[in-house]
Amino acid sequence: MKPFKFRLERLQKVRSAEERAARAEFAAALGALTRREVALRDALSQRDAARDELRHILRAGAAAASFLTAQRVTDRFDTLVEEAENTRLLAANTAELARAKWAELRGKEEGLSRLRDARESEHRREQERSQSRELDEIAMTRSAGNGNRADYTTATTTPTS
C-alpha cells in the first residue's frame, strides 16, 4: 500500500508561516502597547506634579505672572496626557486587531492539523485492513495447499441418537 501523503501539506506550511508572522505582529503590538502605557503613566505623573506646583503657587499668593506661567505649564501637561492616551488607545486597538488576526490564522492551522490527523488515522486503518486481508489470503492459500478445506461454509450435521 502507498505511504501516507497529505495533499494539503503545502497549504499547511503556508498557513503555519502566516500564523508565525501573525504571532510576531501580535507580540510587537503588545510591546508597543506596553510602551504607550508607560508613556501615559509618565505623562500623568508629570501632570500631577505640575498641578501640585500650581496649588503651591496659589497657596503662596504669588504674583499673577507666576500663576499664569504655572497654568500654561499645567495646560501643556494636560495636552501631553491627552496625546499619550490617544496613542495608547491606538496601540490597544492595533494589538486587538493583531490578536484577532493571529487567533483566526491559528484556528485555520489547527483545523488543517486536525484534518491531517484524521486522514492519517484513516489511512492507517485502511492499511491495517489491507494487511489483514493479505494475511487471510495467505492463510487460505496455505490451508488449501495442505489439503484442508479453504472455504468456511457450514456443513450440515446429523444428530446422533
Would you say residue 4 has pLDDT above 60?
A: yes
What pTM did the predictor assign?
A: 0.65
With bands split at pLDDT 50, 70 and 90, how would you rate the model's confidence at 148? low
If pLDDT is split at 50, 70 and 90, which confidence band does 67 have? confident
**Three cell numbers, residue 13:** 506550511
Coil, strand, or helix at residue 33? helix
Compute the distance between CA of residue 27 and CA of residue 106 in angstroms, rounded to an integer.
14
Q: Hey, where are the domains in the chain? A: 10-106
User: CB within 8 A of 77, min separation 6: which ones?
Assistant: 43, 46, 47, 50, 51
Please provide the average confidence, as pLDDT, over all residues in the chain: 86
The helix or strand, by DSSP H or E, that contains position 129, with its residue range, turns out to be helix 64-145
Q: What is the pLDDT, as a whole number, of residue 157?
A: 58
Which amino acid belongs to residue 5?
Answer: K
**What's the grid cell of residue 137?**
489470503
